[in-house]
Amino acid sequence: MTKHRCGWCLGDPIYEAYHDEEWGVPLHDERLLFEFLILETFQAGLSWITVLKKRDNFRRAFDNFDYHLVAQYDQHKIDTLL
């Protein structure tokens, strides 16, 4: 069976996986919603593919997007992230 993909994702495996598995799929998991909130925030001024390629780095930086942990970040952790 041939996959039908939008033109904007063609040519990059990360983009194609995002298109096929995540784009347009409703989210109900709070951690995933927080992850996309953070990723969308970092997209300002960047292309979405750039953010997707750095996604694993964001996961490490933000404790796998555990918003309970992020909410407890102290000034030292914030400064480290900056």
Q: List the catalytic residue out of 18, 23, 67, 73.
A: 18
Residue 40: active-site member: yes
Residue 22: active-site member: no
Q: List the catalytic residue out of 8, 22, 30, 40.
A: 40
Q: List the catalytic residue out of 16, 23, 48, 73.
A: 48
User: Which of 49, 45, 41 shows the shortest CA–CA distance to 61?
Assistant: 41
Q: Active-site positions?
A: 18, 40, 48
